[in-house]
Amino acid sequence: MTDTKNTRVGFIGLGIMGRSMAGHILAAGHPLWVYNRSREKAAETLAAGATWCDTPAAVAAQSEVVITMVGNPSDVEQVWLGADGVLAGARDALLIDMTTSSPELARRLAAEAAQRACRALDAPVSGGEVGARDAKLSIMVGGAQDAFDAALPLLQLMGANIVRQGEAGAGQHTKMCNQIVIASTIMGVCEGLAYGKAAGLDLPTVLKSIGAGAAGGFQLSVMGGKIIEGDFAPGFFIEHFVKDLGIALAEAQRMQLDLPALALARKLYTGLVDQGHSRLGTQALFKHYEARS
């Protein structure tokens, strides 16, 4: 890819984050081919100038770089390795999976790509819908240095903090670190606000004080503010967070790590899914504490 401005790009997965990410690539002038399981979700991107393909393989056949941003590891496996998957159509391409998935699958995809003369990166992101919309995602990358260098101009269209963490799978491992920290932090935010509410405090006033101290941070200031306002709309779906925490817990168990806060967070969020809250944002964990106050 010598002329990065004219790189032919494929994008698969135009959901709550993928739509914005693909939009930044298109706005930068790249020819863009897209596929999504539900075509109606691609309408905005198609109206902006992207070209529809009927299969992931068809996207790959047109593209020098293919980016996938889907839901679950099983979706990644199908989109990459299925009969009409990316690897069925890719030729000498750079393939980037930005889904939060398993490190083991990332390593497997990199090996499968290499057998087809392609390069692969695992590049999960953090920042949610807002980060995707504002092109300020944190992007954690695993894979070879030369593949990272080739992908960087495109990744910079979507993110503001892009770091190569190591070889294949390292990006996914780093994303697990991210999700583990978020899980414990949002539990602390919810418990602190539940305590303040039970004590009869004015929660916006509480937030002014503790948000400026050692407890300050995104989860408290942004998600805490949403909790106080009763805004549980998703920037990141609970059902996807439960998936991520399950991957992290399985990896921790494989490495013989005891992470009790991670286990508790997954239990609490699974309870919210069972109560029908799977499509709310992660800040809706506060509902667990409200129900018990």
Find all residues with CB under 8 Å of 273, minimum gap 6, and list them: 238, 239, 242
Residue with tokens 């990410």: 21
DSSP conformational letter for 11: E
How far is it, in rounded angstroms, from Cα 224 to Cα 203? 9
Strands 125-126 and 159-166: unpaired
DSSP-assigned letter for residue 276: T
What string of DSSP letters covers 194-209?
HHHHHTT--HHHHHHH
Total Cβ atoms within 10 A of residue 141: 25
SS3 135: coil
Three-class secondary structure of residue 30 per DSSP: coil
DSSP label at 282?
A: G
Examine the residue annotation and report whether 175 is marked as an active-site residue of this protein.
Answer: yes
Residues 216, 208 contacting (CB under 8 angstroms): no
Q: Select which of 175, 243, 267, 287 is catalytic.
A: 175
CA separation (Å) from 144 to 123, 184, 222, 238?
12, 32, 35, 32
Whether residue 10 contacts residue 33, with contact meaning beta carbons closer than 8 Å, is answered with: yes
CB of 132 closer than 8 Å to CB of 125: yes
CA 195, CA 81: separation in Å to the nearest integer?
A: 49
- Tell me which residues are annotated as active site: 175
